[in-house]
């Protein structure tokens, strides 16, 4: 379980592709990792399969994860958002994040709004029912607030997508991978798990 508050920016130091799988090595900057520990890498819950005291860690990415996330695009030199699992004493500064990706979104635009930035993403239409204005969404592991939600098929989002706008403060821009993105780049999306539970409960009551 995670909270969507990014703790470290890591760097991919190696990426080795296998038969519908990927192994990556990441310089995490975290010196006390444990074997088998869960770490959210760009919002995807992965297991530490190797590590050293310097904070270098290895992760195995399965075909299922490659099919559902953007991790297959990772290569040596890429920066990644990192968050360790929460503990019972952790302040939940973001929201409940599982690291289980529901889809991918595409960056449409970035514009200045004073010192902040207004960013717009195209999100798959299948996720629309889980999102509400001022609700939470996780993009590449970052807990963010939805400021605006557009209509499905409107504007630049595409026929099977809708646009969402978010306001990004300077700290988030500089301490996550958002600041390195350009229009057209893809991110991992996780919607609020509570919304999914409510949907299932309403269906099977």
- In this prediction the pTM is 0.93
Task: Give domain limits for the chain.
Answer: 8-84, 103-204
**CATH code assigned to 8-84:** 2.40.30.20
Task: Check residue 90 and give its pLDDT.
Answer: 80
Whole-angstrom distance, CA of residue 34 vs CA of residue 55? 10
Task: Check residue 204 and give its pLDDT.
Answer: 82
Fold of 103-204: Elongation Factor Tu (Ef-tu); domain 3 (2.40.30)
How is 10-24 classified by DSSP, letter by letter? Answer: EEEEEEEEETTEEEE
For residue 28, CA distances in Å to 82, 87, 189 come to 8, 19, 22
Task: Check residue 200 and give its pLDDT.
Answer: 93
Task: Check residue 92 and give its pLDDT.
Answer: 79
Whole-angstrom distance, CA of residue 103 vs CA of residue 129? 14
Q: How confident is the model at residue 93 (pLDDT cuts 50, 70, 90)?
A: confident
Q: pLDDT tens, 52-87?
A: 999 999 999 999 999 999 999 999 999 999 999 998
Whole-angstrom distance, CA of residue 86 vs CA of residue 96? 10
What percent of the chain shows pLDDT beyond 90? 91
Residue 91 has pLDDT above 90, yes or no: no
């Amino acid at each position: 379980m995670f909270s969507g508050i990014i703790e470290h920016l890591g760097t991919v130091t190696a990426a080795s592709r296998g038969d519908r799988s990927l192994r990556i090595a990441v310089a995490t900057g975290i010196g006390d990792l444990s074997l088998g520990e869960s770490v959210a890498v760009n919002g995807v819950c992965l297991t530490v399969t190797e590590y050293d005291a310097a904070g270098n860690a290895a992760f195995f990415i399965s075909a299922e994860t490659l099919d559902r996330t953007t991790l297959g695009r990772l290569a040596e030199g890429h920066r990644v958002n990192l968050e360790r699992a929460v503990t019972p004493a952790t302040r939940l500064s973001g929201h409940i994040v599982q690291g289980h990706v529901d889809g991918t979104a595409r960056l449409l635009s970035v514009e200045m709004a004073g010192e902040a930035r207004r960013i717009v993403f195209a999100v798959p239409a299948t996720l629309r029912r889980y999102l509400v204005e001022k609700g939470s969404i996780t993009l590449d592991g970052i807990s963010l607030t939805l400021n605006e939600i557009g209509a499905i098929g409107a504007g630049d989002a595409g026929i099977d997508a809708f646009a969402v706008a978010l306001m990004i403060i300077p700290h988030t821009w500089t301490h996550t991978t958002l600041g390195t993105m350009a229009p057209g780049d893809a991110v991992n999306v996780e919607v609020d798990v509570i919304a999914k539970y409510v949907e299932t409960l309403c269906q099977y009551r």
